[in-house]
Amino acid sequence: MKKIELNNHIEIPQIGLGVFRTPSGEVTENAVKWALEAGYRHIDTAWIYGNEESVGKAIKASGIPREEIFLTTKLWNEDIRQRKTREAFETSLKLLQTDYVDLYLIHWPAEGYVEAWHEMEKLYKEGRIRAIGVSNFHAHHLETLAESSEIIPAVDQIESNPYFNNQALIDYCHSKGIQVEVWSPLGGTGGTILSDPVLQAIGKKYGKSPAQVVIRWHIQRNTIVLPKSVHQDRIIANLNVFDFTLSEDDMKQIDALHRNTRTGSDPETFNF
């Protein structure tokens, strides 16, 4: 698995299993188990997904040493608004049955995010988190943080897929040394991207599925990709993207699918 170095010099595997909309209990436990068996060493959850306990249980049951797995969770908006960063972090750790996380993210730029960041800086310095970052931050949110903070976020986790490539924000983050993780990389649950004829035609050329083509496109844009699936065959296939390279022309064809249509909420107008 290819790894990317973060701005504090720790490494993150370039593909992680996403577990949004993955019900707690057997479904999450199986998805994480299959992913770890397939070679994933990076899991992306969040307190709001309601499955941290199942993620923790599956990691423990795998027998894989904790330090070999890169584990991310996220601070929810209500905890940001109520200035409960530390309490929320302790709750997540307990649910995950671990004493540290590799990456802790501010989930959305909710009111109070600067104070939340300062508390996360403290947790990072205390050695409770290996890297801290943000999610759904636009350039102006990152600039606001930079004005009053010591630590530059290690990552910004943002929406990106062929219909909404978010390229300008990715370029901005990369120019600041912030790595980008892409969410809904396949267009999200219920999306239609994978039936796009351009992706199907490119897939045929390489003997790969449209999902593998899209994941490979993200990899070649130097982003960290978090595909979600609850099916073992797809979990395995989504990691099987390191044995081919999309040509420059195919990369451009996928870039050209951009329609500027989001599948998720806009960080400027989200209301939760």
Ligand X SMILES: NC(=O)c1ccc[n+]([C@@H]2O[C@H](COP(=O)([O-])OP(=O)(O)OC[C@H]3O[C@@H](n4cnc5c(N)ncnc54)[C@H](OP(=O)(O)O)[C@@H]3O)[C@@H](O)[C@H]2O)c1
DSSP-derived secondary structure letter, 160: -
Among this protein's residues, is 104 annotated catalytic? no
Q: Which of 220, 245, 229 has the alpha carbon at shortest distance from 167?
A: 220
Closer CB to ligand X, residue 150 or residue 241? Answer: 241
For residue 234, give the nearest of 64, 44, 70, 31 by alpha carbon: 31
Return the range that interacts with ligand X (CB under 6 A); candidates 13-21, 76-84, 116-124, 144-152. Answer: 13-21
Q: Figure out which of the listed residues 28, 51, 157, 160 binds ligand X, where binding follows CB under 6 A.
A: 157
CB of 96 to ligand X, least distance (A): 14
Among 184, 213, 224, 246, binds ligand X (CB under 6 A): 184
| 63, β-bridge pairs | none
**6 versus 126: smaller Cβ distance to ligand X:** 6
Q: From residue 102 to residue 131, what is the string marking binding to ligand X with x (rule CB under 6 A)?
A: -----x------------------------
Instruction: Report the nearest approach of ligand X to the CB of residue 229 (Å).
Output: 3
Q: Which residue, 93 or 193, has its beta carbon nearer to ligand X? A: 193
Cα separations in angstroms, 57 against 25, 47, 191: 9, 15, 30
* Closer Cβ to ligand X, 186 or 219, answer by number: 186
How near is the Cβ of 237 to ligand X at its closest, in Å? 5
Q: Please identify, among the stretches 59-67, 117-125, 144-152, 230-238, the one whose residues bind ligand X according to the rule CB under 6 A.
A: 230-238
What residues numbered 47-106 form the site for ligand X, per CB under 6 A?
Answer: none
Q: Which residues contact 71 (CB under 8 A, 6 or more apart)?
A: 42, 43, 45, 55, 59, 96, 98, 101, 102, 103
Handedness of CA 266, 270, 52, 142 (dihedral sign): positive
The rounded distance, in Å, linking the Cα atoms of 113 and 116 is 5
Convert 100-122 to b/e letters by CB count within 10 Å (16 or more is b): bbbbbbbbbbbebbbebbebbee
246: which 2 tokens?
A: 């999309």
Interaction between residue 189 and ligand X (CB under 6 A): yes
- Which of 187, 213, 218, 219 binds ligand X (CB under 6 A)? It is 187
Taking the C-alpha atoms of residue 162 and residue 32, their distance in angstroms, rounded to an integer, is 26
The residues annotated as belonging to the active site are 49
> Where along the sequence are the contacts to ligand X (CB under 6 A)?
18-21, 44, 107, 135-136, 157, 183-189, 194, 209, 211, 226-231, 234, 237-238, 264
